[in-house]
């Protein structure tokens, strides 16, 4: 799987798309807000490369409209499935008719396949995409100590995928310490050999620093962690897609850290998503 994904990461969003016809299969991305999503460009470029007659379009839906929209999409016969992103990943868990073990474990869904009978099958591919992007860049997280800001859906997915990839320690730093504790408890239970913590004070002691919050999407956001304490021996990754260079990554780069942008993580999981939605074999 890894070599396939590395190859697919070369896909560059195209300047043009093939025409949409009555036979074109439809896929979506559900988000709120929607303007910042990059998945349509990346997925449609992948479809074009593979000669797939499909198009992925943005569906802007607020949390209180999610159930009605998903119920409507069950009845759309040429709809293949959708990607769910902020703030819908957790809510989708209960709206799916079936979920993968990874989605149940992590407690969130980010990709849904619509079966021909309208049933919705949810998966969680965020974390796998994150780890595959690190590996594609030549970084094996095995044995590393990880500092992860955030305890929401994206952070949970990244934490479980990193645990699965063999990191030795994970610190979860979250504004609500109860959520951080709940996540470390679940991690510890699933991976007894892993050590965990929720103390944000020891940022400098970690090999890999990851932002799994949405802080950095908007100009006025506070930093997701204490930028002053980063140092050049650390790897710093941000799960945010836009802006590509977040204030966190800019600060880390200025300190001499090796940085990892959100976009390659999206590209790493785009093939996994196309496969889950049945667009790609």
Q: Which sequence positions are flagged as catalytic?
A: 89
Residues in Cβ contact with 271 at an 8 Å cutoff, skipping those fewer than 6 apart: 4, 5, 8, 46, 280
Residue 37 lies near a second copy (rule: CB under 8 A) = yes
Min CB(17)–a second copy separation in Å: 4
C-beta of 3 vs 21, nearer to a second copy: 21
- In the structure encoding, which two tokens stand for residue 201, read together? 């004070």
Number of residues in the chain: 281
**Burial 222-258, CB ≥16 within 10 A → b, else e:** ebbbebebbeeebbbbbbbbebeebbbbebbeebebe
Dihedral pair phi/psi, residue 131, rounded to 5° = -65, -40
56 binds a second copy (CB under 8 A): yes
Verify binding: residue 15, a second copy, rule CB under 8 A. Answer: yes
Judged on CB neighbours under 10 Å (0-12, 13-18, 19+), 19 is exposed
Residue 51's region, left for phi above 0, alpha for psi from -120 to 50, else beta, is left
**Least gap, CB of 88 to a second copy (angstroms):** 12
Window of 77-85, 128-136, 191-199, 217-225 that interacts with a second copy by CB under 8 A: 77-85
Site for a second copy in 96-155 (CB under 8 A): none
Position among 23, 116, 117, 219 found at the interface with a second copy (CB under 8 A): 23
Q: Does 217 bind a second copy (CB under 8 A)?
A: no
Residue 75 makes contact with a second copy by CB under 8 A: yes
Peptide bond into 101 cis (omega under 30): no
Minimal distance, residue 15 CB to a second copy, in Å:
7
Q: Report if residue 53 touches a second copy, rule: CB under 8 A.
A: no
| 36 contributes a contact to a second copy by CB under 8 A | yes
The residue from 6, 32, 135, 188 that contacts a second copy (CB under 8 A) is 32
CB atoms within 10 A of CB 26: 18
Q: Rounded to an integer, what distance in angstroms lies between the CA atom of residue 103 and that of residue 98?
A: 10
**Residue 68 interacts with a second copy (CB under 8 A)?**
yes
Smallest distance from a second copy to CB 259, Å: 23
| Choices 40-48, 126-134, 180-188, 205-213; region in contact with a second copy by CB under 8 A | 40-48
Rounded Cα gap, residues 19 and 252, in angstroms = 42
Q: What is the binding site for a second copy (CB under 8 A)?
A: 13-24, 26, 31-32, 34-38, 40-41, 44, 55-62, 64-66, 68-79
């Amino acid at each position: 799987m890894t070599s396939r994904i590395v190859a697919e990461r070369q896909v560059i969003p195209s300047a043009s798309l093939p025409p949409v016809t009555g036979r074109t299969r439809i896929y979506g991305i559900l988000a709120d807000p929607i303007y910042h999503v990059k998945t349509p460009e990346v997925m449609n470029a992948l479809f074009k490369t593979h000669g797939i007659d499909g198009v992925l379009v943005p569906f802007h839906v607020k949390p209180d409209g999610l159930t009605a929209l998903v119920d409507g999409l069950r009845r759309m016969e040429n709809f293949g499935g959708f990607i769910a992103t902020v703030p819908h990943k957790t809510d989708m868990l209960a709206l799916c008719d079936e979920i993968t073990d990874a989605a149940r474990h992590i407690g969130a869904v980010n990709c849904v396949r619509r079966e021909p009978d309208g049933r919705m099958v949810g998966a969680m591919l965020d974390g796998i995409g994150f780890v595959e992007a690190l590996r594609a860049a030549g970084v094996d997280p095995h044995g590393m100590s990880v500092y992860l800001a955030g305890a929401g859906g994206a952070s949970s997915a990244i934490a479980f995928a990193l645990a699965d990839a063999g990191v030795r320690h994970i610190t979860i730093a979250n504004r609500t310490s109860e959520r951080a504790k709940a996540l470390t408890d679940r991690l510890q239970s699933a991976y007894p050999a892993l050590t965990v913590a929720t103390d944000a004070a020891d940022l400098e002691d970690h090999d890999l620093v990851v932002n799994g919050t949405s802080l950095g999407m908007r100009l006025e956001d506070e930093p997701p962690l204490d930028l002053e304490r980063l140092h050049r021996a650390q790897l710093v990754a941000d799960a945010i897609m836009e802006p590509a260079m977040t204030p966190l990554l800019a600060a880390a780069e200025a300190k001499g850290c090796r940085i990892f942008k959100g976009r390659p993580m999206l590209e790493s999981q785009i093939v996994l998503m196309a496969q889950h939605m049945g667009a790609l074999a």
